[in-house]
Structure 1
Amino acid sequence: MIHDLELLQVGKTYPDGTVAVSGFDLKVEKGEFVAFLGPSGCGKSTTLRMIAGFEDITQGEILIKGRNVSRTPPEKRPTSMIFQNYALFPHMTVRQNIGFGLDIKKMPKADKDSKVDRILDMFDLTAFAERKADKLSGGQRQRIALARGLVVEPEILLLDEPLGALDANLRRIIQNELKLLQRELGITFVFVTHAQSEALGLSDRVVVMSNGIVEQISPPKELYRRPATRFVADFIGSNTIIEGRPVGLAEAGSYAHLETPLGLIKGRGPAGAGLAVIPAEAFRITPSGAAHEIRFAGTVTARQLVGSVGHLRVRLSDDREISVETHSGTPEAQALTPGSTVTLGVDPEAITLIPA
């Protein structure tokens, strides 16, 4: 099967020996939306620049539509890249900015004008076509950057934190437009972000990176519910991580067990795993609890109600404090105040066991 994009053991090591990216493997299908997620300096933008051809690779291969482009210059790759600062030309009009890539391709003027007119209309920019780009709002400049990237009809659109400069409300609006646009056009998107909400909300799959290596590649729901490494468990969501000693072997289709300072915990994961990961929203405040639940006793140290969500801090019997999220409208949540004793129940199905 030919994929839109393949990275085969791609790596980048700088002359001073610094390893920016190591052993990156990825296969992206046509029309897929893939997000690279991780903290600053993890290698996600470097990887995107290697795909675009703006950064040389020092190991591995990059294939687009089955063709090795590892040594192909950027202008000859079927990609288009959008940067966080938009990289628009302030002295050019909106029309000139959008048509710039077609000028580079030496497209006949009539064909270029037709394409630019069509994409101006698609992005609702026709009324601003003759204005200078630097005179427009952040949201309008973002649309210009997207239009300029798409007008050249790339096989793959590469986006390097393109929403980072927008305020929160405008960011949400553009996020929605971006996902609808990607579905409508069917173009493969590779998107770099450090914002979890963007990666989990927009993408079909998320690549989590740290220190130049890939920690996990999963659909958003699986990534959130089943972290594969401690880094992912710490980085994604709000999880309680409990260390313990593996007890026995997990049978096919059953739970693995972990002996911890808080008692026996069982969950989904490999035999021999030494950490239990419990999402904040998996805890249930209960006076008794179902028979199959794992139960913890604790004391509420803080409570904050934000809309329909109640955020609790609870100190457990071993003095660790954990985060608990519950519906703020439940009688149990309403009755809790700092100092209240509480019993927390967790379904073992919501617990993931991972290697220590």
Structure 2
Amino acid sequence: MLHDLELIQVGKTYADGTKAVSDFNLKVGQGEFVAFLGPSGCGKSTTLRMIAGFEDITEGEILIKGQNVSHTPPEKRPTSMIFQNYALFPHMTVRQNIGFGLDVKGLPKAERDRKVERILDMFGLTDFADRKADRLSGGQRQRIALARGLVVEPDILLLDEPLGALDANLRRIIQNELKLLQRELGITFVFVTHAQSEALGLSDRVVVMSNGLVEQISAPKDLYLRPQTPFVADFIGNNTVIEGRARAAGLIDTAYGPIAGVGGEGASVAVIPAEAFRLAPSGAPDEIRLPGTVTFRQLVGAAGHFRVRLSDGREVKVETHSETPEARSTRPGDTITLGVDPRSVTLIAA
């Protein structure tokens, strides 16, 4: 199967010996939306720049549609990159900014103008086409940057935290537009972000990185519900991580008693999402039960947020629907028993 993008054991080591990225392996299908997610300094932007050709690789290979582009200069790669600061030319009009990449490619004027006008219309920028880019709002400048990246019809659009400079409301609007646009055009998107909500909400798959290494590559739902490493369990969502000792496949011994879950032989860490806790046991015979004392309660719309201190003083986060009888009646200071369905627990190696 031919992939739009393939990274084979890609690595980046700087001259001083610092390893920025190690052994990065990834296959991206045509029209897929993939997000690189991780804390600052984890190597996600460096990887994106290596794909674009702005950063040399020191190990491995990068293939685009089966062609090795590991040492191909950026302008010769079928990619387009959008930066957080948009990198627009302030002295140019919107129309000139969008057409710049086509000018570099030497397209005939008639074809260039046709492509520019079409994408101006697609992004709702026609009324602003002759204004200088620096006189427009953040949302409009973001659309210009997207239009400029897409007008050259790349095989892959690379986005390096492109929404980071926008306020929260505008960010949500552009997120929705971005996903709809990607589906409509069918272009492969590789998107770098440190915001979990963006990665989980926009992408088909998420690559979680830490210290230059890939921790997990999964669909958003699988990443959230089935973390594969302690880092991912701690980084994604509001999980309670309980260390123990492996007893058998699907079962570990902990300070709170045996905990069953989904996992293989040798797993010794239980990961319980905040949404998996019930404020009262359901009565199922295999249910995990954890006694504790409520220390915090907040009901916001349909969501109920609680914290419960367990027998050893540890506090766990509980998220439930605010309209359940237990959520309405439970108060700080109450002694309760949390219930957990073992099927919602993931057991991983330490």
Following the alignment from structure 1 to structure 2, what is the Cα–Cα distance between the partners of residues 6 and 95?
34
The residue that corresponds to 1:339 in the other structure is 333
Alignment of 1:1-356 (within 5 A): 1-248=1-248, 250=249, 256-286=250-280, 289-356=283-350
- Any conservation in 2 of the 1:303–1:338 contact (CA below 8 Å)? yes
Q: Percent identity?
A: 80
Q: Distance in 2 between matches of 1:355 and 1:342?
A: 30
Distance 1:287 1:197 in 2: 30
Q: Distance in 1 between matches of 2:64 and 2:29?
A: 10
After superposition, the CA RMSD in angstroms is: 0.7
Letter paired with 1:83: F
Contact conserved, 1:310 with 1:325, CA < 8 A, in 2?
yes
C-alpha separation in 1, matches of 2:78 and 2:89:
22
1:120–1:129: 8 Å Cα contact kept in structure 2?
A: yes
Give ranges in structure 1 of 5+ residues lacking alignment: 251-255
CA distance in 1 between counterparts of 2:281 and 2:317 reads 19
1:128 aligned partner, one-letter code? F
What CA distance in whole angstroms lies between the structure 1 residues aligned with 2:89 and 2:301? 43
8 Å Cα contact 2:78/2:155 also seen in 1: yes
**Residues 296 and 316, structure 1, Cα contact 8 Å, conserved in 2:** yes
SS at match of 1:51: helix
Cα shift at 1:287: 5.3
| 1:115 match: secondary structure | helix
Q: How far apart, in 1, do the equivalents of 2:330 and 2:339 lie?
A: 16
SS in 2 for 1:227: coil
User: Which digits, 9 at most, give the CA deviation of each residue in 1:13-37, with x for residues without a partner?
Assistant: 0001110000000000000000000
Q: Distance in 2 between the 1:190 and 1:354 partners?
A: 28
Q: Structure 1, residues 84-141: CA drift from partner, whole Å, max 9, x if none? A: 0000000000000000000000111111000000000000000000000000000000
Alignment-mate amino acid for residue 294 of structure 1:
I
Shift of 1:288: 5.5
Partners of 1:212 and 1:34 in 2: CA distance: 17
Is contact 2:281-2:340 (8 Å) kept?
A: no
Residues 83 and 161, structure 1, Cα contact 8 Å, conserved in 2: yes
Any idea what SS the aligned residue of 2:99 has? helix
Following the alignment from structure 1 to structure 2, what is the Cα–Cα distance between the partners of residues 214 and 300?
37
Contact kept in structure 2, 1:258 and 1:264, CA below 8 Å: yes
1:253 corresponding residue in structure 2: none
- Aligned residue identity for 1:279: P
The one-letter code of the counterpart of 1:277 is: V
1:9 shift after superposition: 0.3
Tell me the distance in 1 between the aligned counterparts of 2:326 and 2:171: 36
How many pairs align?
A: 350
Report the TM-score when normalising by structure 2. Answer: 0.99
Deviation track 1:33-92 (CA, whole Å, cap 9, x = no partner) reads: 000000000000000000000000000000000000000000000000000000000000
1: CA distance, partners of 2:251 / 2:309: 23
| Matched-pair contact (CA < 8 Å) for 2:281–2:339 | no
Q: C-alpha separation between the residues in 1 aligned to 2:285 and 2:304? A: 25
- In structure 1, distance between residues paired with 2:299 and 2:326: 13
Q: Distance in 2 between matches of 1:200 and 1:60?
A: 28
Structure 1 stretch displaced more, 57-66 or 306-315:
306-315
